[in-house]
Amino acid sequence: MKKQLLSLCGLAALVLFMTACPKSKTPPLSERIAKAWSAGSVKEDATTVYTKGGASNIKPGYASFKLDLRNVNGTLTVTLTDVDGNTFTGTWELSADEKKLILRNLNPQPTGTNGVIEFTINGDPTDTTFNLTRTTASLKTGSTINTYSLTNP
């Protein structure tokens, strides 16, 4: 009888301990990516054209590339500074399955985009890395499909 009571008390203590400890919950993807990102490395098609801090970058203009995703009072705003230094503003959203980042209503409209640029999200973003591949060719880079390894800060 004492063994059963002792076992029951031990089990109760374990259950109490497990329920009392808060579980860390991963914030939603939209919260994790809502920050300013810069280029860590960029590939145009299969060619690496930029690596942060690299001495012999083919396209050093990516040093000023910035993707600033913000949530301002529930409005998801974006500022994109592209390889050529041009800046576009608009809104952003995630696809329902959270596998695509979609920039909308970009102003001015980047050539050939109708104000929309989509990226496939590669892997699971962390606090410091965010990997994207543009879903359509960029006319600015010679109609290449670009892959970005972004960093923060």
Q: What is the pLDDT of residues 92-146, one digit of tens each?
A: 999 999 999 999 999 999 999 999 999 999 999 999 999 999 999 999 999 999 9
Note the maximum CA span of the chain: 81
CA dist 47 to 27, 44, 109, 131, 133, Å?
34, 5, 26, 16, 13
The residues that bridge with 81 in the sheet, in sequence order, are 66, 87
* 20 or 75, which is more confident: 75
Residue 117 structure tokens: 């640029």
Kindly compute the dihedral angle of the four CA atoms of residues 27, 30, 35, 39, in this order, to the nearest 10 degrees: 110
**CATH of region 29-151:** 2.40.128.280
Q: Are 92 and 82 in contact (CB under 8 A)?
A: no
Share of the chain above pLDDT 70, in %: 84
